[in-house]
Structure 1
Amino acid sequence: MRIGLVCPYSFDVPGGVQLHIRDLAEYLLGRGHQVSVLAPADEDTELPPYVVSAGRAVPIRFNGSVARLSFGPIVANRVQAWLDEGDFDVLHLHEPAAPSLSLLTLWAAEVPIVATFHSSQSKLGALRAAQPLLQPGLDKISARIAVSEAAHRTMASSVGGTTLVIPNGVYVDRFRAEGDLEPDPAAPPRIVFLGRFAEPRKGLPVLLAALPLVLAQVPDAELVVAGPGDRSEIKGMLSDQVAGSVRFVGTVGEAEKVELLTRANAYVAPNTGGESFGIILVEAMSAGAPVVASALDAFQAVIGDSGAGVVFPVGDHRALAAEIVRLLEDPAEQRRLRAAGQERARQFDWSRVGARIEAVYDSVAVPLVGAGSPVPRAAGGASHGGARAGAGAHDPGAGHRGPTRTAGSGRHRDPDRPSWAAGSVAASVVPAASSGAERVRTRLRRWFTR
């Protein structure tokens, strides 16, 4: 199957959605599919061979973070060039309601579309205001996926529709260090924080407020902070009492991340909101790190009811300190959490998650069927009815709402044409002459003049 994945966020900056799309692409390639990913990226960014750059992105504040997005008429032409070259059987768009590559692709596409909704938000005014512009595109979606119940609620409340809940995936075995590393019993107890620590919603200030209380009980404990951000601002928040117990290591690679997590006596996720799925919790559990997390719905869904982690009330630094101290002083509990976390993480391995997403692709890329004919049910996903099911919303197992293209039955490429799976379309922008491109131009005019 020829599959096009669209990432709304820049590949220049690491993030959960980008990593999810990267891993999904690699899973699909391993399954024998032809895969191309369209994503924003600067010219000098080193990209995997299956990623096509749509040009640089601009920073936009979104959901308590800064998202780097690409949008506008020039980018729309690049999207059309990628679609024409790819001749895809299925498109998989991520965050199609955001002003991004995904929305532009949604407007232009003429093949079956799967959409994944990642974000969890409480403030939905902007999405609801844009509903008249978004709905014609959303009606084209054949199947909708939410990565969690929290993401499903956000989507249902803002744009409506029917969803399957399929979580993010992790290559669990990649987080199993060679030699099964564990914390050194002779070393100081290590607390680990991973994330964009300058963003308040990641909760580092909560952890720093808890640290003096932890050090009062476990004076040799060390906090290791990894991730991008201006550490000078955070260091200014540290008292002399705790400054010597905090170590900043900056952005880390995959191997360094694995070592940090496998050596951790406690991995702490003190996030305060804006999380729809705890992918870093799954990574930490895969590596065997005992997890202490704030009681966000998304985090509790990852930990489950199997005792695979410890939760504390969101923003409560005293409760967090008490849980950290209890864990650091109890090696047996650390061992129990390591084992339980690794067992729980298996539920999110790509071998399971990827198969469920493939089943969704199969359910939309089927031979033409008449109205009311059954479509194969996408395996493994919980289905939810939204507040307003769009005409194109797809519920595998329900009646099919219209004809779709058979996988591989569309236009056929000239075998002498250059590869569609790599490189940049920035230098090969085509005239916007197709009906899809005309729809995009019309909707862009409405978007920028509303």
Structure 2
Amino acid sequence: MSTGAPLRVLAISSLYPPHHLGGYELVHRGVDELLRAEGAAVRVLATDHREPAATDRGLADDPDVHRELRWYWDDHEFPRLGAREVLALERHNHRLLRRHLAEHRPDVVVFWAMGGMSLSLVGAVRSAGVPAVFVVHDRWPIYGPVFDRFARLVRPLRRAGGPIARALGSDRPRGPEGPVLLNSLRLADELVRTQSIPPGWDVVAPGVPLPDAPAPERPWGGRLLCLGRLDHRKGVDVVVDALRRLPHDVTLTVVGGGDEAVADDLRRRADRLGVGDRLALRGAVDRSALPALFAAHDALVFPVRWSEPFGLVPVEAMSFGVPVVSTAIGGQAEYLRDGENALVVPVDDPGAVADAVTRLSGDAALRSRLRAGGLATAAGLDERTFQAEVRRVILRAAER
């Protein structure tokens, strides 16, 4: 990086707001916004994926976002591709990368969500001699090579794989190397055990934007909220099952985009259990809608059944003073404390969820205690702290 010249960053990720599915992409954009506010030239290279809800609402892209990459994922599946299709995808992506490297002349490339992507892009950046930083918030270093069809083709070639890949217009697929930032010790444990990341990694917990003021305390109204991507692993069906164990005035609102097949399954399940009139499904919302959304609900239920690297939704609820009922597996186990800032329930246990909601409904002192504990937890997970640390690592890589 030239002394006195603005920092130039190329960020590469599968998805990017507003065409995104989860918090990983929002965390990414927050860092880009900070860098741009400080005068950096940030270019984003993402896939051509479009979310229908974002398209229908006419949501505009941020500056210098290029949705041109192709990837191995399509509508929540990884379709089979022939060798010619794989090679065409790889050549397309590498032509794009070469063009953006030449046009933008980045001081550093930051890799974000790379699951289902051409991991040969990592190799190409290394071959170009550009420093790279990896901000890893899911298990893509483990599953990415499995679903990268080109990586599977060249893996048997071993040392010859690199020269042959370059001769074909691609590069050797690679995982993270260099500065690697992870979002939780739980994720670090998995990636280290599977030898998916090199030594020298660090954990920087992400955070949420803190509101100016939490939602006001009010009497219990029985309005439950599930917020996040529609995915069977999120366990929303457990809350639907819990509804039939709860009084008829308890309702559930599910807010999030993603797999419509999951939404259809939830509707059918609710109808079969006789609680269909107590379930409302809404699409994804912008962060600007969160204050009103949290103010309209009495508790957030986060019943994930998989080891999520770091669930941010409970922190968002805590920042607004909303009591949380959650499982404690994955990264959120590092900040959830049963009876202090949340009620922790076992995985796949509708009865436990119903019991926790019943406790909340009848105990105003418990709700107040969880509210206070949650606000304190959220204050310690301010997104600005995370952004500042990622910025520091990016600047250090660029200077080297």
Separation in 2, partners of 1:105, 1:257 = 36
User: Which residue is equivalent to 2:21?
Assistant: 14
- Residue 81 of structure 1 aligns with which residue? 99
Q: Deviations over 1:278-301 (max 9, x none)?
A: 121221211222111112131211
Q: Name the residue aligned to 2:84.
A: none
The Cα shift of 1:221 comes to 1.5
Shift of the 126–253 alpha-carbon distance from structure 1 to 2, 3 Å rule, reads: closer
The alignment status of 1:343 with 2:376, answered yes or no, reads yes
Alpha-carbon distance in 2 for matches of 1:67, 1:322: 39
Q: Structure 2 unaligned runs (5+)?
A: 1-6, 80-87, 163-170
8 A Cα contact 2:116 2:144, kept in partner: no
Specify the alignment match of 2:196 in structure 1. 159
Residues 256, 284 of structure 2: 8 Å contact kept: yes
Alignment length (residue pairs): 353
TM-superposed CA distance for 1:364, in Å, is 2.4
State whether residues 123 and 172 of structure 2, in contact with CA within 8 Å, keep that contact through their aligned partners in structure 1: no
Cα separation, 2, equivalents of 1:201 and 1:123: 18
Larger helix percent:
2
TM normalised by structure 2 equals 0.77
Give the 3 Å change call, closer, same or farther, for CA 233–270 of structure 1 in structure 2: same
Shift of 1:85: 1.4
Aligned sequence identity (%): 25
Judge conservation of contact 1:146–1:164 (CA < 8 Å) in 2.
Answer: yes
Aligned to 2:82: none
Give how far 1:210 is off: 1.3
Q: Larger deviation: 283-292 or 49-58?
A: 49-58
Alignment match of 2:182 (pick from 139, 142, 146): 146
Q: Tell me which of the two structures has the higher relative contact order, counting C-alpha pairs closer than 8 angstroms and 6 or more residues apart.
A: 1
- Residues 162-206 of structure 1, C-alpha deviation per residue, up to 9 Å, x if partnerless? 210112232223xx46xx533653x73211011233x21010111
The equivalent residue for 2:124 is: 107
**Could you say which residue in structure 1 is the equivalent of 2:45?**
38
SS in structure 2 opposite 1:225?
Answer: strand
Q: Indicate whether 1:181 and 2:199 are aligned.
A: no
Q: Contact conserved, 1:93 with 1:102, CA < 8 A, in 2?
A: no
Contact kept in structure 1, 2:12 and 2:112, CA below 8 Å: yes
Report the CA distance between 1:142 and its aligned residue: 2.4
Out of 18, 27, 31, the position equivalent to 1:24 is: 31
Residues 125 and 2 of structure 1, relative CA distance in 2, 3 Å threshold: closer
From the superposition, tell whether residues 13 and 94 of structure 1 become closer, same or farther in structure 2 (CA, over 3 Å): closer
Which residue of the partner structure matches residue 3 of structure 1?
9
Structure 1 segment 383-394 matched on structure 2, within 5 A? none
CA contact (8 A) 1:71 1:100 kept: no
**Residues 311-367 of structure 1, C-alpha deviations (whole Å, 9 max, x = no match):** 11111221121111111222222222222212211222122111211222233233x
Aligned twin of 2:73: 59
| Structure-2 change in CA distance of 1:146 and 1:306 (3 Å) | farther
Tell me what 1:92 maps to.
Answer: 110
Q: CA deviation at 1:152?
A: 1.3
Distance 1:86 1:13 in 2: 24
* 1:353 is aligned to 2:353: no
Aligned-residue CA RMSD (Å): 3.3
Change (3 A) 1:190 1:227: same
